[in-house]
Each structure stands twice: as structure tokens, then as C-alpha cells.
Amino acid sequence: MIAYLTAIATLVGVRALLTLGLNVQWGLTGLVNLGAVAFFAVGAYTSALLAVGGAPLVFAWPAAVGLATAAGAGLAMVALRLREDYLAIVTLGFGEVLRLFLLNEAWLTRGANGVTAIPRPLHARFAGHYDLFYLALVLVVVALVYAALERLRRSPFGRVLRAIREDEIVAAVAGKPVFRFKVQAFALGAGIAGLAGILFAHYLAYVEPNMFLPQESLFVWLALILGGSGNNRGALLGSLVLLGLLEGSRFAKDVIPFLTGVRLAAAQQILVGVVLVVLMIRRPEGLLPEQPGSE
């Protein structure tokens, strides 16, 4: 039971990072990104492949965050000039094309077999209670990112981002280089998603392309909207509630006899979809709404 809870808590931490990343993009700046999973995958695969190739983690991890950030900046520079309904499909498509790339370019990514035996950091030193150590590592990273983002939100930079979200024409008239701020915010969110990918890959010690389906991006959205977009605490709460929802419904299998594996997965996703639609209609501000004018 302890092992199970430790595993769940670790995954909540990874999801929390993804949600915090999307909160920078959508919650703070109002930028649409339906491809959060792409930057998650870039982080996971870059770090995994470098580490398996023998690179020390002190090199692999910054490289992975760097590549995810650069991918975010690149996509943002191409796509952020578009209207937001176009941006929705471009980011969604980007995530899907990246997954196809991971699946097909086996010379680089090992294709459908995935990357196995990804080294786990400090495994020898914490042998015996490694999962607890890793949970602590994830929680420390989440806490640091959270603290940094709270600072950022209150900083002049964060105020500009919110100004852009509310009315980018006003922000531009006030002399802010709106496009540059948007690219920076998008890249920062992508980098945080990349960091989540790193922690995910080295925790499971295995990654494969089908871990990065488009629906994962939808789960990140649900967590953010559930918790309250624009609010970092909401992002944390949303990730926790989402995983509770997904994991809790897993126990339904023990109660309802005809629930096979496929049916259970389908039922979980029906639940996710229904919660998302009902939230959008009834409570778009989430459980913990952003406080107006919170400094």
C-alpha cells in the first residue's frame, strides 16, 4: 500500500509540473496549447536517449530541458501569429506528428520498442527505499518550480503576461513587445513540461511512443481547468484531483464484474470527458479561481 501511494504521489508530482507549465501558457498569458504532451515527450526522450548513450545526468537533464524549451520557442514563433482556433489544431497536430516521429524514426528513437533501461539517478546510494527518495526528488522539483512561478507571477514580467492575456492590444499600445513576451511564456511552459518528461522517464526507466498520446494533453487541460486556470495552487490541486479521479475509478473493477480492461479504460475516459464538458459549462473558473488583482 505504501509502495502504491508512493507511486501515485510521484505521478501526481509529474502531472503537477505539466499543469504548472500549461498554466504559464494558458492561465497566465492566454496562449492556446493543445500539445503539452509534445514537450513532455521531448524532455523524456532527450534525457533518456542521452543517458542510455552514456551521458552523465548533469549533462542530459539540462540538455533535455533546453531542447524542450527550444522546441516550444520554435513552435511559438511559427504558430503564435495565428488566431487561437487555428493555434488549437496546430499545437494538437504538432503533438501527434512528434509521436509519429518517435514511432517511425527508429534509428534515433528506437521506434515502437521504446527506450529501455534508462538509468535511475543515485540508484545505488538509495537502494532499498529508492521510490521514497525519488518521490522526495519530484516533490522538491515541484516545490522549486511552484515557488519560482509564484515569484514570476508577481514580477513585472508576470504582470505583462497577464496584461497580454486580458488585452494584447492595450499591452502593445503600452509599449510592450507582445510577441516576444508570448514566445518567452510559451517556451517557459514547454521547458517545464520537458522537466516533467525527464522525471517521468527516469522514474519508469522506460519510455515508448504510445505513452504520449494526444489524450495526455487533454488530461493536462482538465487538471488546469479543474483546479482553476491562472492560479498555481489551482494547478497543483487540479493535478491531485485528476489523478484521484483516474486512480479511484480503477477500483471500480473490483466492484463491477463485467468491467474488462478495455471497458475500464473507456469508462475512465468517458468520466474525464464528462467532467471536462460539465466544468466548461458550469464552472470554467475551476475549484480555486484566480483572485482578481492578486499581487
Q: Which residues bind other proteins (CB under 8 A)?
A: 32, 34, 78, 82-86, 88-90, 92-94, 96-97, 100, 103-104, 215, 218, 221, 225, 262-263, 265-267, 269-270, 272-274, 276-277, 280-281, 284
Residues 6+ apart with CB under 8 A from 91: 32, 33, 34, 35, 38, 75, 79
Please give the backbone phi and psi of residue 207, each rounded to the nearest 5 degrees, phi first. Answer: -135, 145
Dist CA 41 CA 94 (whole Å) = 12
Q: CA angle, corner 243, sides to 242 and 244, nearest 5?
A: 90
Residue number, 13 or 30, with CB nearest to other proteins: 30
Residue number, 86 or 206, with CB nearest to other proteins: 86
Residue number, 61 or 94, with CB nearest to other proteins: 94
Alpha helices by DSSP H, the chain: 2-22, 36-52, 57-79, 84-104, 106-109, 130-154, 156-166, 168-173, 178-204, 214-227, 232-250, 252-255, 261-282
- Classify the C-alpha dihedral 186-189-191-194 as positive or negative: negative
Residue number, 57 or 264, with CB nearest to other proteins: 264
CB of 33 to other proteins, least distance (A): 11
Asked whether 244 and 227 are in contact (CB, 8 A), the reply is no
Residue number, 59 or 86, with CB nearest to other proteins: 86
Residue number, 16 or 272, with CB nearest to other proteins: 272
Supply the DSSP symbol for 288.
Answer: S
Asked whether 267 and 245 are in contact (CB, 8 A), the reply is no
Residue number, 131 or 247, with CB nearest to other proteins: 247
CB of 269 to other proteins, least distance (A): 4
CB of 131 to other proteins, least distance (A): 31
CB of 193 to other proteins, least distance (A): 18
Residue number, 104 or 291, with CB nearest to other proteins: 104
- CB-CB neighbours of 135 under 10 Å: 21
CB of 85 to other proteins, least distance (A): 5
Helix (H, G, I), strand (E, B) or coil at 115: strand
CB of 139 to other proteins, least distance (A): 30
CB of 80 to other proteins, least distance (A): 12
Dist CA 156 CA 145 (whole Å) = 18
CB of 72 to other proteins, least distance (A): 16
Would residue 221 be called left, alpha or beta, if left means φ above 0 and alpha means ψ between -120 and 50 degrees? alpha
CA 151 to chain centroid, in Å, comes to 20
Dist CA 153 CA 233 (whole Å) = 12
